[in-house]
Structure 1
Amino acid sequence: MIAALACAGTVAACGGASGVEKPPHSLPITGSATKDAARGEHLVLRMRRTGGIVGLGGGLPDFSLYSTGRALVAARERVTEYRLKPAALDRLLHEARAAGLGRSHTVSAGQVMDANVLEFTMGDAHTKIILPETQSDPAVRFQARLDPARWPAADLASGARPYAPSKIAVLASEGAVADGPVRTWPLAPLGRGTGLPGAVCTLAAPAKVPATDLGTAWRSGGKTYTVRLRPLLPDEHTCADLQPR
């Protein structure tokens, strides 16, 4: 599935690449998935696609993979959960290392405004690829392996189901225009939380959060807000975990 590692030497060996190569990192997955799962669930691989201009804070990563085999795939503000079998998890992580994701590197496209960016996190290693559609880095090809629609049924311990978070992040933006009703926010004041780019974050239990959309305005503390709801992922525990990195 993975093409020969074209950039095994330096980042400059990849077309358009730049930056300083870092030595390989110690990754949280060093043995079998079964042994790592026994030590408690932790994040082992994450992929995020963004644009070049920073938007509202708190956005969901496209793909998150955990040591238990749990894989979470985001589409807008909804998250779908899958479970990989241990052997399939080990195989996928091996392919990620073969694609160079075990070492931090940046593949640049020069001075490009508002460029698409593909980012991976694997342990302490961070990979950033600017304008991935024009790059030959193996990580660009590897992203196709993170599409559960391509996973064989034999690799799955369980198929698609809605992810059930323990907490919801309430992301409130003050002064945004809404064309629907103005309602009174029933939970913690929207303005008293953790500041993120373009929003203030508070946490709430899923059962207590009222249904909302961007057409509804909420009044809280004498001000009016629009609200986005975003589930916390298993490796996220506070609003500070949603800060851009």
Structure 2
Amino acid sequence: MTRTRGLLTAIPMLMLLGACAQPGAAGSAGEPSSGDPVTESARAGTDADAVVLRVQYRGGFVPPQFLAGRLPLVSVYADGRVITEGPTTLIYPGPALPNLQVARITPEEVTQLAAEAGEAGVKTGADFGQPNVADIPSTLVTVVTGYGKQSVDVVALNEAQPDDSSLTAANQAARKKLKTFVDKLAGLGADSQPYAAEEVAAIARPWTEPGDDLGGKPVTWPGPQLPGEALNSDAGVNCLAVTGAEKDAVLAAAAKANQQTPWESAGKQWSVTFRPLLPDESGCESLRSAE
């Protein structure tokens, strides 16, 4: 399957989003007052690959290569594509390739979801409190409308306890409302099919013996020479992006591998995390700011 473009022009739809979205409280960063016009510069973009809604994890106590390869939980695009990560087989080591799925909703549903995001509390500067937890990822929810971008970054949205004394009743209520909305977005991928990426990033680091002998025999790397460009020099994490026939060869080999498979390239062995790039991403540079 290839990406489909042009199901609608994004400018008219985003004008409608601007009309439906509810601006936040006056004075919050990035939020216009109700009297501000919806200007061309405030719109998300002019093509089907514009992201209207995204939910993703940030931070947490995880290794650098996992941060670079982490996929958003949900991405909703201007043309109605909804990309999520589907279920995987509960085996160890897991498959080398993530199970990315794409579903479709109507432009009207995209507009409605953008409006619901504001009602669920996705307004820059909203207060969700700071729970008494450590090393837990935060959930970043972003919506783009004719009013511009609004986002909230909520620590331990799913893990915080109802009796956490660090959270007020208002914090708990706001968290519950946002979680309900995030769960709704996650459910949009129920009627989906595999997502075929046009570009795949191979996030490489020197291979080390995991000690469980589950990686199997080394496999000859079928793409351009690893490890590619540096993403995190201190952690030894590199990235190589492939397209076209090179991408097809890499995906065919990865489909037979697992997360512990050692890959041989230029006389060395590498561990590789495969990260299909999403419609709004291009090249390893898209992953450089991952956190």
Q: TM-score, normalised by structure 2?
A: 0.64
Contact (CA 8 Å) 2:69, 2:274: kept in 1 or not? no
Please name the residue that 1:87 is paired with: 108
Structure 1 gap ranges (5+): 1-7, 11-19, 152-158
2:61 counterpart letter in structure 1: I
1:86-108 deviation per Cα after TM superposition (whole angstroms, max 9, x unaligned):
22111111101212224254634
Q: CA deviation at 1:110?
A: 5.2
Q: CA deviation at 1:220?
A: 1.9
| Residue 56 of structure 2, aligned match among 48, 55, 60 | 48
Describe how 1:75-224 pairs up with structure 2 within 5 A: 75=86, 77-105=98-126, 107-109=128-130, 112-123=133-144, 124-133=149-158, 134=160, 135-137=172-174, 138-148=177-187, 159-177=191-209, 179=213, 180-196=216-232, 199-205=237-243, 206-209=247-250, 210-211=253-254, 212-224=257-269
C-alpha separation in 1, matches of 2:259 and 2:186:
29
Poorly superposed stretches of 4+, deviation over 6 Å: none
Please name the residue that 1:3 is paired with: none
How many pairs does the alignment contain? 216
Give the SS at the match of 2:69: coil
Give the SS at the match of 2:173: coil
| Residue 74 of structure 1, aligned match among 74, 79, 85 | 85
C-alpha separation in 1, matches of 2:150 and 2:109:
22
1:37-56 deviation per Cα after TM superposition (whole angstroms, max 9, x unaligned):
97443111110135622432
Describe how 1:16-31 pairs up with structure 2 within 5 A: 21-24=28-31
Between Structure 1 and Structure 2, which shows a larger proportion of helix residues?
2
Give the SS at the match of 2:71: coil
Contact (CA 8 Å) 2:55, 2:73: kept in 1 or not? yes
C-alpha separation in 2, matches of 1:242 and 1:150:
24
Structure 2 gap ranges (5+): 1-23, 89-97, 161-171
Between Structure 1 and Structure 2, which shows a larger proportion of strand residues?
1
User: How big is the alpha-carbon RMSD for the aligned residues of Structure 1 and Structure 2?
Assistant: 3.1
Please name the residue that 1:14 is paired with: none
Structure 1 residues 240 and 105: CA distance shift in structure 2, 3 A = farther
